[in-house]
Amino acid sequence: MIQVREPTQPPAVAGGDPTGSTIAPLDDVAISLTPAEREAAGEVFAASARALKGRPLDDEEVLTEAEFAGLRLPRRILEALGRFRRQGNDAGALLIRNMPVDLAPPATPADGFLSHWNDLPVATFGQLAVASTVGDVIAYADEKLGRVVQDITPVQGDERRQENSGTVYLELHTEDGFHPSKPDFITLLCIRPDHERVARTVVGAAAGALPLLSERAAGVLREPRFRLRVSSSFGGGADDLLTEPLPVLSGTAEVPDLLADFHAMDALDEEAGAALEELRSAFLATLRGGVLEAGDLVVVDNRTAIHGRSEFTARYDGTDRWLRRCFAVTDIRSSRADRPAGSRVCHPLRDIGLFVPGPSTTPRIEGPACMGS
């Protein structure tokens, strides 16, 4: 079995930081609220948060309120989100700038967990509103303790982990690609950027990378000759669970779906491994992204794009980089057997039981504060 384990190192970039001149910005897929629009939307989100203060986010009344609050966003924002949901784009992402956020956010959570969403009411409702516009909000009991909106912060001691709690280059990956109800969309809202403004959120879209592949590699990637290693937190602590053999590419040739993780994906033979390496090189040549500032919200199409993050340095002083993450799916009903009645949070994956033990290899170790993005 060929294992792809080491973080990708883009060509001619020192230190594993993929922020070289080949990284194209997302300006052509960016849309910004005006100051007046931001203020008006912020008032709507604040009012919704006040009305439901103290309620859990995994509550249909809260999520319905967020969905309706989102209808108060400017029409052009709603139109852009609707197009992206239905049609996607060649970048695999949509960037909304100048979203309303709370004026005095608390300290960046040192452990990766905000004490309560009421501490960021405007940002929380704004992000839920956007996520509810592209799909139905979903979460996972195994991930970040089942929180509907999750905190992405550096955790001291985790610097070199291939997780969002680390600070080394986070390898390109499909979010939760091993899960039967994986998210269709990922929303990442910046509360606070890193101090040096070097932590770039990067996206690799199938539309940009696949034309660079050889015909043979493209064909191999459509065959079930790959496995994803299941994150240990999703496996109830087990570190040897693999998906069944699956393809990297599926769907139509014109608009293919993508499933890849260059840290946790195994190729089952040498030809498949070579095809995976060719795909990795193609993504590195076509990366898009940039540094997210406070109020920037990026939506990633998890069906057609993979994402990661460049290296940065944390100070652990309460002012480090802080993103918030929320997932959405286009069909919440399809996961109904995997969720408790009335909840958007999927059962632990060990209770769903879909995977088989694999050979003993170095696992992708994850704690509750880690996981993806």
pLDDT of residue 142: 94
Q: Are 354 and 167 in contact (CB under 8 A)?
A: no
The more confidently predicted of residues 103 and 352 is: 103
- β-pairing, 249-251 with 256-258? antiparallel
Measured CA to CA, the distance from residue 119 to residue 18 in angstroms comes to: 34
Cα 333 to Cα 10, 129, 138, 344, 345, distances in angstroms: 40, 19, 11, 10, 13
Q: What is the pLDDT of residues 1-50, one digit of tens each?
A: 443 334 444 433 433 555 455 799 999 999 999 999 999 999 999 999 99
pLDDT tens by residue, 228-284 = 998 877 866 666 789 999 999 999 988 899 999 999 999 999 999 999 999 999 999
Compute the distance between CA of residue 336 and CA of residue 279 in angstroms, rounded to an integer: 34
Percentage of residues of the chain with pLDDT beyond 70: 87
Report angle CA 62, 300, 185 to the nearest 5 degrees: 45
Instruction: State the pLDDT at residue 357.
Output: 57
- 116 vs 52: CA distance, rounded Å: 13
CATH topology of domain 31-357: Double-stranded beta-helix (3.60.130)
Instruction: Answer yes or no: is 116 a known binding residue.
Output: no
What is the spatial distance between Cα 72 and Cα 65, in angstroms, rounded to a whole number? 11
pLDDT at 365 over 80: no
DSSP for 306-354, written as a single string: EEEE-------SS-S-EEEEEEEES-GGGGGGGS-TT-SEEPPHHHH--
The reported pLDDT for the residue numbered 99 is 98
Spatial separation of the C-alpha atoms in residues 349 and 231, rounded to whole Å: 10
Is the pLDDT reported for residue 359 higher than 70? no
- Provide, rounded to the nearest whole percent, the portion of the chain with pLDDT above 90: 80
Chain mean pLDDT for the chain: 90
Residue 15's pLDDT is 39
175 marked ligand binding residue = yes
